[in-house]
Amino acid sequence: MKGKKAWYYLVIILVGALIGAVLGEVLGTVMPEGVVSEFFLKSAAAALEPATLDLIIIKLTIGFSFKLNLMGIIGILIAGYALRWVE
Q: Please classify residue 56 by burial: count the beta carbons closer than 10 Å to its beta carbon, then call 0-12 exposed, 13-18 middle and 19+ buried.
A: exposed
pLDDT score for 61: 92
Beta carbons of 53 and 60 less than 8 angstroms apart: yes
The neighbouring-strand residues paired with 66 are 46
Per-domain residue ranges of the chain = 6-83
- Give the residue among 24, 82, 69 at the shortest CA–CA distance from 43: 69
Mean pLDDT throughout 3-23?
79
Encode pLDDT of 43-84 as tens digits.
Answer: 788 888 899 999 889 999 999 887 888 888 888 888 878 777
- What does pTM read for this prediction? 0.63
